[in-house]
């Protein structure tokens, strides 16, 4: 969850993804999509030059209530947050396709809250297999979905539980909650120990396209707040955006400086992939090779 800052920094589109600190710089910038910047000159506009004109505006998320996000998954690499995800069935996690790099090395934490403390609620799994959406397009960030099959099913309880997929597409203005262990500052990187939550509102496709142009497809939607300052950010990728108790969005991308006014977060549109999710899980659950 990010706080909003806007200094003399170019605003770059970037996936809400983070690599380990020793690789951070190279891999982070390696995920910028230059063509999108060329196609969308507005994205290149520079931030305000007045010192602290935005830095004083400290707004952002909050600690989630313990146990309130039992579907939240942490994908860790070398003990650090890499991406988020959502438990949608005891053996299945829905996350973002752009989190797929070296996916087999990721550790899956269910029922976690403070990543630095062993709370006794955690269930740790490995990834047996992963399925990237067949329509995923890295250059356009389209269909940014990936299913992870866990090596063993989760034991469901008060701290670990599944969430239902959205049964309808987002209605503009709906209050939603996004959660994750991503950076709480932007463009600085400050990673919290505890799970953070933020309230954002779904935004119409017309307004989303007014912000980002025709990069926005029907498989994405925007969510944010009018004044900026509250947003998902690097490290939150793949995590849940939940509206009315259903998983409506997967944290996908935004400007590299998060939470800017007029630059809402972009989410993969879960209502468009319910059939793919059901068929993938159903097919693999029935196939003996996966038992
Ligand atoms: Ca913990």
Distance from residue 70's CA to the centre of ligand 1 (Å): 13
Least confident stretch, 25-29, 119-123, 246-250: 25-29
pLDDT of residue 58: 20
Among 19, 36, 86, 98, the active-site one is: 98
- Select the more confidently predicted residue: 50 or 111: 111
Q: Which residues share a beta bridge with 185?
A: none
* Lateral strand order in the sheet of 146-150: 123-125, 107-110, 72-77, 80-89, 92-95, 146-150, 127-132
Distance from residue 190's CA to the centre of ligand 1 (Å): 18
Distance from residue 126's CA to the centre of ligand 1 (Å): 17
144 is catalytic: yes
- Average of per-residue pLDDT across 170-190: 94
pLDDT of residue 17: 54
98 is catalytic: yes
pLDDT of residue 105: 93
pLDDT of residue 285: 67
Q: Give residue 188's Cα distance to chain centre.
A: 18
Residue 27 scores a pLDDT above 60? no
Q: Which residues contact 226 (CB under 8 A, 6 or more apart)?
A: 261
Interval 122-144: pLDDT, tens: 999 999 999 999 999 988 889 99
Residue 20 scores a pLDDT above 80? no
DSSP for the chain, written as a single string: -B-----S-B--EEES----HHHHHHHHHHT--HHHHHH-GGGG-B---STTTTTT-----EEPPTTTTTTEEEEEETTEEEEEEEEEETTEEEE-GGG-TTGGG-EEEES-SBTTS--S--EEE-EEEEEE-TT-BTTTTBT--EEEEESS----SSSS---PBPSSPPPTT-EEEEEESS-SSSSS----SB-EEEEEEEE-HHHHHHHHGGG--TTEEEEE-TT---B--TT-TT-EEEETTEEEEEEEEEESSTT-TT--EEEEEGGGSHHHHHHHHHHHHH-GGG-
Distance from residue 71's CA to the centre of ligand 1 (Å): 15
Residue 24 scores a pLDDT above 50? no
Percent of the chain having pLDDT more than 70?
Answer: 77
What are the backbone dihedrals phi and psi of residue 282, each rounded to the nearest 5 degrees, phi first?
A: -65, -45
pLDDT of residue 22: 29
Distance from residue 55's CA to the centre of ligand 1 (Å): 31
CA distance 39 to 60: 30
pLDDT of residue 139: 85
- Surface-to-core class of residue 25, CB atoms within 10 Å of its CB (0-12 exposed, 13-18 middle, 19+ buried): exposed
Residue 195 scores a pLDDT above 90? yes
CA distance 67 to 265: 25
Interval 32-75: pLDDT, tens: 232 222 223 222 221 222 222 232 222 389 999 999 999 999 99
Q: Which residues contact 255 (CB under 8 A, 6 or more apart)?
A: 11, 12, 13, 14, 43, 263
Q: Which residues contact 171 (CB under 8 A, 6 or more apart)?
A: 202
Residue 266 scores a pLDDT above 60? yes
Q: Which residues contact 168 (CB under 8 A, 6 or more apart)?
A: 271
Among 112, 142, 144, 236, the active-site one is: 144
- Residue whose tokens read 């269910």: 110
pLDDT of residue 31: 32
pTM: 0.82
Among 19, 202, 232, 237, the active-site one is: 237
Distance from residue 63's CA to the centre of ligand 1 (Å): 14
- Select the more confidently predicted residue: 240 or 2: 240
237 is catalytic: yes
Instruction: Calculate the alpha carbon distances from 102 to 5, 8, 70, 97, 162 in Å.
Output: 31, 34, 26, 12, 25
CA distance 170 to 148: 24
pLDDT of residue 100: 94
- Average of per-residue pLDDT across 13-36: 35
Distance from residue 257's CA to the centre of ligand 1 (Å): 28
pLDDT band of 249, cuts 50, 70, 90: very high
């Amino acid at each position: 969850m990010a706080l909003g800052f806007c200094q003399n920094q170019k605003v770059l589109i970037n996936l809400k993804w983070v690599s380990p600190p020793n690789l951070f710089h190279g891999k982070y910038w390696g995920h910028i999509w230059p063509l999108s910047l060329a196609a969308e000159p507005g994205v290149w506009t520079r931030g305000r030059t007045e010192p602290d004109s935005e830095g004083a505006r400290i707004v952002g998320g909050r600690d989630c209530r313990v146990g309130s996000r039992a579907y939240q998954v942490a994908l860790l690499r070398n003990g650090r947050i890499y991406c988020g995800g959502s438990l949608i069935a005891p053996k299945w996690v829905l996350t973002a396709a752009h989190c797929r790099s070296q996916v087999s090395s990721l550790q899956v934490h269910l029922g976690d809250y403070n990543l630095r403390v062993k709370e006794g609620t955690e269930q740790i799994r490995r990834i047996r297999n992963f399925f990237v959406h067949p329509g995923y397009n890295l250059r356009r960030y389209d269909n940014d979905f990936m299913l992870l099959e866990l090596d063993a099913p989760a034991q469901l309880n008060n701290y670990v539980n599944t969430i239902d997929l959205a049964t309808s597409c987002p209605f503009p203005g709906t209050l939603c909650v996004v959660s994750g262990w991503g950076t709480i500052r932007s463009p600085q990187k400050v990673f919290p120990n505890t799970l953070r939550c933020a309230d954002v509102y779904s935004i119409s496709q017309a307004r989303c396209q007014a912000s980002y142009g025709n990069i926005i497809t029907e498989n994405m939607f925007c969510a944010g707040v009018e004044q900026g300052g509250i947003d998902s950010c690097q490290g939150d990728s793949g995590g849940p955006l939940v509206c009315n108790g259903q998983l409506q969005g997967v944290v996908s991308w935004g400007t590299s400086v998060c939470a800017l006014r007029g630059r809402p977060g972009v989410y993969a549109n879960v209502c468009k992939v319910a059939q793919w999710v059901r068929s993938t899980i159903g097919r693999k659950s029935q196939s003996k090779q996966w038992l």
